[in-house]
Structure 1
Amino acid sequence: MSFQPEHVETFLEIFEASKGKIRNFEGCYHLELLNDTTSPNRFFTFSKWESEDHLEIYRHSELFLTTWAATKILFNDKPEAWSTVVASSA
C-alpha cells in the first residue's frame, strides 16, 4: 500500500488500533506490518491464515470493512494484494 506522505502517521495509527483485533480474528495466526526500505510511505501487511475461507470471512467482516474504509482514502496509488503458498522451504 502506498500512502500520501502526509497520511503515513494516520495509517500507522489505524494499524496500531486494528492490529490486535486482526491478530485475534478467527483463523489469523500471524500479522506483520512491513515498510519498504526505499519508499517510506509504502507498506505491506503480511498475514497468515488457517485457510482461504478464514481470510474471506475476514475480508467480509465489519472489522475489515471499517478498517479498509479508513485506510483506502489515504492511498496515493492503487493497492495490490496477493495470496501465496510456500513453493519451497529451506
Structure 2
Amino acid sequence: MLVRIVKMGFYKQNIEVFLQNFDDTKTRIRAFEGCNFLELYRDKNDPSIFFTYSYWESEAALENYRKSELFNTVWSKVKPLFSIRPEAWSVDKLQSLE
C-alpha cells in the first residue's frame, strides 16, 4: 500500500471553489480503481492550506489515476486556484495505532 499526502495552498477567494470541486469529485476519486481511502484536511493555523490523504493499492494504481481523464479534469480546475506550489509525498505506512 502507498499513502499519498498532498499539500495545497489557495488564494482566499478560491477556497470555496476548491471545496465545491472536491465535494463534486471526491466520490469518483475514492471509487477510482486502486484508491482505498481518501480524506481532506485543513490547517488549523492557516485556513488557506489543505491536505489530501489517500491510500493506494500500489504506485501503479496511483500512476493510473494521475494519467486518467478524472485526474486531468480535477487538476485543470484546481491548478489555477493555487496560491503556492503544491507539494506531494508518497510514503509507506509503517505503523498504525487506533
TM-score, normalization by structure 2: 0.89
Structure 1 CA distance for aligned equivalents of residues 36 and 66 of structure 2: 15
| CA-to-aligned-CA distance 1:36-65 (integer Å, 9 cap, x gap) | 011101000000011110000000000001
Structure 2 CA distance for aligned equivalents of residues 39 and 79 of structure 1: 15
Match of 1:30 in 2: 37
TM-score, normalization by structure 1: 0.96
Alignment of 1:3 onto 2:10: yes
Structure 2 alignment gaps of length 5 or more:
1-7
The 3-state SS of whatever aligns with 2:87 is coil
Higher strand share: 2
CA-based RMSD? 0.9
Structure 1 CA distance for aligned equivalents of residues 82 and 56 of structure 2: 25
Structure 2 CA distance for aligned equivalents of residues 74 and 89 of structure 1: 33
With a CA cutoff of 8 Å and minimum separation of 6, indicate the structure with the bigger relative contact order: 2
Structure 1 alignment gaps of length 5 or more:
none
